[in-house]
Amino acid sequence: MNTTRNFIFLIASTMLLFNSIESFAQNLKICGHRGGFYQNFPENSPSLFNYTYKNTSSTPIILELDIRENQNGTLFILHDTSLDRTTTSTGFLKTSSDSLLSKTFLKNSQGNISKIPIPSFNDMLIWLKNHPNAWLMLDVKGGLLKKVYEAVQQYQLDSRVLFLTFKPEDTKEVFQLSSTTHVSALIRNEDDWNSIQAFQPNFKQLIAYVSPQTPVSLISALKTKGVRLMADCSENTKNHPQPFEPSFYQNLAQSLQLDIMITDYPVEVSRIFAEKNK
């Protein structure tokens, strides 16, 4: 009798685990870090965003980009403080004029020069407006959260952007700016979580940035509050120039109960979960 009961329990547990994995696969959103790391395209470029948008199997696709301000106060898309690595110019973006940047072109990871100028944030908001199955994940550099939010608001795109924040005071600022936009907070431990809870955020807006080191008890507490979870895969630093095996992504999604997965290879990773749903 006990053997039969144990067997039934094992079958039920296996089905529950299978359904749990399927649920993550169905609900998981994929985010391309800097649009994705594909050697034929410059990072953070409209051509790369178009490639990922057209070839991904995830809807909506989220595209992460970096925002900085130049000498004239114009917002541009560039990861580094310096122009040297990814463009045809040198020096710092913050001391560069609109005139110089209009004649500056992006390079891919192989150093090949494109005909693509550094995109402005305004360019990317227009792009987002014209691509209804996309979100933008905004990594705002240099204390520009209010200015960036005001630009987003002009295009009425609050619900289709996600602000990355890494300090509780920045998280709080975005919550004060908007009651509708998505806001991520770095939550590594109970202290981080307590700092966020202190200003009583709207948990429907909040997305917790977690990692495999985040305690299981904290993951459960966040889920209980209805907070969505995201984590990054960091293939470019850990496994470049190729994605991990499919099991890596499936296990990460399951173990951290992810709602958003940030990856350097959004096309390939989105297809892994699309196959899972067939």
In the chain, domain spans: 28-276
Strand, coil or helix: 161: strand
Q: What percentage of the chain exceeds 90 in pLDDT?
A: 86
Tell me: pLDDT of 172 over 50.
yes
HSE-up (13 A, CA, CB side) for residue 144: 21
How far apart are the C-alpha atoms of 202 and 179, rounded to whole Å? 8
Angstrom distance (rounded) from CA 200 to CA 175: 10
**Predicted pLDDT of residue 276:** 66
Say yes or no to pLDDT of 19 above 60: no
What distance, in Å, lies between the first and last C-alpha atoms of the chain? 38
- Over residues 202-247, the pLDDT tens digits come to 999 999 999 999 999 999 999 999 999 999 999 999 987 899 999 9
pLDDT band for position 147 (50/70/90)?
very high
The per-residue pLDDT for 12 is: 38
pLDDT digits (tens, 9 = 90+) for 38-65: 999 999 999 999 999 999 998 899 999 9
Predicted confidence band at 277 (pLDDT cuts at 50, 70, 90)? low
Two tokens at 83? Answer: 């122009």
Going by pLDDT thresholds of 50, 70 and 90, the confidence category of residue 26 is low
CATH 3.20.20.190 fits 28-276, yes or no: yes
For residue 78, CA distances in Å to 90, 98, 163, 263, 264 come to 13, 14, 16, 18, 16
Please report the pLDDT score of residue 58 as a whole number.
Answer: 86
- Give the pLDDT band (50/70/90) at residue 21: very low
Q: What is the pLDDT of residue 275?
A: 77
**Cβ neighbours of residue 133 under 8 Å, at least 6 residues apart?**
53, 59, 60, 61
Nearest to 118 by CA among 142, 91, 143: 91
Q: According to the model, what pLDDT value does residue 53 have?
A: 98
Residue showing tokens 């966040």:
222
Residue ranges in the chain assigned as alpha helix (H): 2-27, 46-55, 98-102, 121-129, 145-154, 168-177, 190-197, 216-224, 235-238, 246-256, 266-276
Does residue 10 surpass a pLDDT of 90?
Answer: no
- DSSP codes joined into one string, 43-83: TT-HHHHHHHHHH---SSEEEEEEEEE-TTS-EEE-SSSBS
Supply the pLDDT for residue 162: 98
User: What is the rounded average pLDDT of the residues 80-102?
Assistant: 98
Q: Which residues pair with 231 in a beta bridge?
A: 261
Q: Which residues of 89-125 are buried (b: 16+ CB within 10 A; e: fewer)?
A: beeebeebeeeebeebbbbbbeeeebebbbbbbeebb
Among residues 144, 114, 155, 119, the alpha carbon closest in space to that of 46 is found at: 119
- The whole-angstrom distance between residue 257's C-alpha and the CA centroid of its chain comes to 16
Q: What is the pLDDT of residue 27?
A: 81
Q: What is the pTM of this model?
A: 0.89
Integer Cα distance of 54 and 157 in angstroms: 21
